[in-house]
Amino acid sequence: MFKSSQNLYVEIASFIIKQISLGVYRKDEPLPSCRKMALELKVNPNTVLRAYELLIEKKIIYSIPKKGYFIKSQEAEDDIKIKLDSLLNSIYFLGISKENLINYLQKGKLENDND
């Protein structure tokens, strides 16, 4: 599932952010436990824990001891959507086609159409 050169926990954190932006997870809803998420993603639970810790640092989620991890706020969801929209607009203005964007997402390389 995860194949880029990024650290695996960073990829998992990015995946969770995408899920939040798609509305899969909402404000104050619990995320799956580290073990459950690890089973779903077929990774080590410690890797999921590192991803959750990264998301806590970025103020996207919070933890309640012995309860789990939760989505921090609607503002976090809105902030993610705003950043994603800004990124997509930047990609568009750079002249990068939808096909090259898809290629980048699949292979990890982005080419400018104007080259």
pLDDT in tens, 7-39: 899 999 989 988 888 888 888 889 999 999 999
Of the pLDDT bands very low, low, confident and very high (cuts 50, 70, 90), residue 89 is: confident
Q: What is the three-class DSSP state of 78?
A: helix
Q: Which domains are assigned to the chain?
A: 8-107 (1.10.10.10)
Tell me the DSSP string of 82-104: HHHHHHHHHHHHTT--HHHHHHH
Q: Structure tokens of 86? A: 């800004």
Distance CA(109)–CA(115), nearest Å, equals: 14
Of the pLDDT bands very low, low, confident and very high (cuts 50, 70, 90), residue 115 is: very low
| Whether pLDDT at 109 is above 70 | no
pTM of the model: 0.63
| Whether pLDDT at 94 is above 60 | yes
Q: What is the three-class DSSP state of 65?
A: coil
